[in-house]
Amino acid sequence: MSLLIRLRSEFIYLVSAIRILGRVSPIVKNRTRTFPDILDTLADRYADNVALLNDRTQLTYRQLQARANQYARWARSLGIGKGDTVALMMQNEPEYLAVWMGVIRVGGVCALVNTNLSGAGLAHCLNIVNARQILVGGDLVAKFESALPHIETPPRLWVAGGSHSDGDPIEAVLEQLPDGPLPDDEMPELTIDDPALYIYTSGTTGLPKAAVINHYRVQAIMAGFAAACHSGENDRIYVAQPLYHTAGGVLAPGITLMNGGSCFIREKFSTRQFWDDVCDYECTMFQYIGELCRYLLNAPTHPNETRHKIRLCNGNGLRPDIWTDFQERFRIPRVIEWYAATEGNVTIFNLDGTPGAVGRIPKWLEKRFMTKIIRFDVESEKVVRGADGFCIECKPDETGEAIGRILIDPKAPAQRFDGYADKSATEKKILREVFESGDAWFRTGDLLKKDALGYFYFIDRIGDTYRWKGENVSTSEVAETINVFPGVREANVYGVHVPGHDGRAGMAAIAADDDLDLPGLREHINAQLPPYARPLFVRIRKEMEVTTTFKQKKVDLRNDGFDPARISDDLYFNDPDTARFELINADLFGRIHSGAIRL
């Protein structure tokens, strides 16, 4: 990196840090000023500005405040007070934010429930937060009912946007309630330390956990990211991620709401609809997450893909192999990639647009944002400790687990870890005795590396990286190698067990065009990857399954292995003897499985 580029980067980070800290630092100085107070201020300042909208309706700041007041009175009439839980299970729409903004006004905690859940999984999410009331969209009532046999104490059902014999219609109640400010004597004494939301983890490694999001965190997320994106009244952000996740439901709306702008909410992401929406609704920003950018890049050319007014996009998961192509094809002036976790205390920004980096902490900020990368043994899935019993910090460009120092200090609220509703789950995310006796650090569960200039790069989720032939293999790095080959739309790489062999062998599920050149792909892989990292098995698919936040699903694929009896997709073995991808049938599978073929 040239001196001029380094100076430019330092200037960007200095200016941005001043702006971010200027917005976030005052939160701790007024501990009784919670998010509902912020909403009141915003409504006074930006009264008739559009705050939230979709393709059917919109709410100005005044209307959002008024609607939230009605939900606050509804919750209050049900006896909801400080610490009581109201669950919310609705599709993406402006009303969604009005609900939780109203519930937290009277001290309630709003549990944002995944709309894809049903049965025992949904029941688990309601049980762990002891929900007393639940507001469900009319189209989701059947899913709620499927969970009833598994719920310990069923919450009272309220239905939005429809009627149901076993639930009370919320609209009829709200119409009877005033929308003005609540009297002071009906308002609980709240501080920024009180919980506001429960937001659930994805549950990819077990049942979902309910992360505690307090009033400080709600404000800090919204204000911090608004400052990072330098938003203003004329900005409109496009959001198509689920509102029940932090990124879609708190972070993205907050970017514009905190500065008088607006947020366009689409119920679900659509590659065909995306650029039309962005142009029709004059959006100046959009939020991405996971593989969303890859889907846009893989889509056919759209007439509106360069006619937009987008000035920046922000998110988490824009991979290095498509970063430059994505930005150039769609003419995106600025990309702000970031790394964060709903419940964690590690948040970093890539503010200068360095392709591939998930963030940077300049030397002069390291004492304020205490994030380290420590050595981690992939095979045992344990941190590495030295002879003195303490963890070992990684050297520059060495891969390890990212951790954040936990401090219970009013002057350092960003270093808090409030954990989950389940205390045992909270303890599992804390690493103790790390660098000194008595210290505690939050475990991200992610493998990252940091270069000498302080840039962080995401490598893999712990559990996704596997060990083969005595070497660690990063699934993301292998996938990025495969993704750039012509005809490959998306690759999902993981390790599978092969009897008689230590570690896991590499396997790639590939969504590809019909004319994929398999011999050419094999040559490309051999030229780009060392022998131990080359996938032994390839599974060709029409489409790739992803989560609601566009993260690839690996567990089911990993469980399927390379058994053709379990898989209807075409399966291939990277045969070292024939130097070809050979189609796996029952006979070939049997010979690999029995050890007759040496790998």
Confidence at residue 374, expressed as pLDDT on a 0 to 100 scale: 98
Cβ atoms 89, 118 nearer than 8 A:
no
Q: Which has the minimum average pLDDT: 138-147, 217-226, 252-261, 539-548?
A: 539-548
Confidence at residue 227, expressed as pLDDT on a 0 to 100 scale: 96
Of 261, 289, 283, 228, nearest to 21 (Cα)? 228
Start-to-end Cα distance in the chain: 42
The tens digit of pLDDT for each residue in 407-466 reads: 887 777 778 898 898 888 899 999 999 999 999 999 999 999 999 999 999 988 888 888
The tens digit of pLDDT for each residue in 172-181 reads: 999 999 999 9
What tokens were used for 570? 């075409």
Q: What gap in Å lies between CA 431 and CA 443, rounded to an integer?
A: 6
- Residues sharing a CB contact under 8 Å with residue 367, sequence separation 6 or more, in sequence order: none
Helix (H, G, I), strand (E, B) or coil at 434: coil
Mean pLDDT of the region 209-217 = 94
Confidence at residue 1, expressed as pLDDT on a 0 to 100 scale: 63
Q: What gap in Å lies between CA 360 and CA 482, rounded to an integer?
A: 27
Mean pLDDT of the region 169-188 = 92
Helix (H, G, I), strand (E, B) or coil at 477: helix
- In the predicted model, is pLDDT for residue 249 greater than 90? yes
Q: What gap in Å lies between CA 93 and CA 425, rounded to an integer?
A: 31
Identity of the residue numbered 319: R
Cβ atoms 313, 286 nearer than 8 A:
yes
Q: Taking the alpha carbons of 409, 415, 421, 423 in that order, is the dihedral positive or negative? A: negative
Q: What gap in Å lies between CA 590 and CA 188, rounded to an integer?
A: 67
Of 457, 461, 483, nearest to 554 (Cα)? 461
Cβ atoms 211, 225 nearer than 8 A:
no
Confidence at residue 205, expressed as pLDDT on a 0 to 100 scale: 52
Of 293, 204, 289, nearest to 558 (Cα)? 204
Confidence of residue 545 (pLDDT cuts 50, 70, 90): confident
Backbone angles phi, psi at 405, to 5 degrees: -65, 130
Confidence of residue 85 (pLDDT cuts 50, 70, 90): very high
- In the predicted model, is pLDDT for residue 531 greater than 80? yes
Q: Taking the alpha carbons of 309, 314, 316, 320 in that order, is the dihedral positive or negative? A: positive
Backbone angles phi, psi at 334, to 5 degrees: -145, 140
Q: What gap in Å lies between CA 526 and CA 535, rounded to an integer?
A: 10
Radius of gyration of the chain (CA): 25
Of 72, 437, 24, nearest to 225 (Cα)? 24
What tokens were used for 484? 């750039």
Exposure string (b/e) for 227-239, b if CB count within 10 Å is 16 or more? bbbbbeeebbbbb
Helix (H, G, I), strand (E, B) or coil at 359: strand
Confidence at residue 116, expressed as pLDDT on a 0 to 100 scale: 87
- In the predicted model, is pLDDT for residue 204 greater than 60? no
- Residues sharing a CB contact under 8 Å with residue 452, sequence separation 6 or more, in sequence order: 396, 397
Confidence of residue 556 (pLDDT cuts 50, 70, 90): confident
Given 3-state DSSP classes, what are the helix, strand and coil percentages for the chain, each rounded to the nearest 5?
35, 25, 40
Q: Is pLDDT larger for residue 343 or for residue 540?
A: 540
Cβ atoms 511, 539 nearer than 8 A:
no
Average pLDDT, the chain: 92
Q: What is the 3-state secondary structure (H, E, C) of 211-240?
A: EEEEHHHHHHHHHHHHHHCCCCCCCEEEEC
* β-pair partners for 183: none
Residue labelled with tokens 């996971």:
290
Q: What gap in Å lies between CA 419 and CA 404, rounded to an integer?
A: 13
**Percent of the chain scored above 90 by pLDDT?**
75
Cβ atoms 434, 386 nearer than 8 A:
no
Confidence at residue 108, expressed as pLDDT on a 0 to 100 scale: 97
Q: Please state the pTM of the whole predicted model.
A: 0.85
Identity of the residue numbered 168: D
The tens digit of pLDDT for each residue in 278-332 reads: 999 999 999 998 788 988 998 999 999 999 999 999 999 898 989 999 999 999 9
Mean pLDDT of the region 497-519 = 90
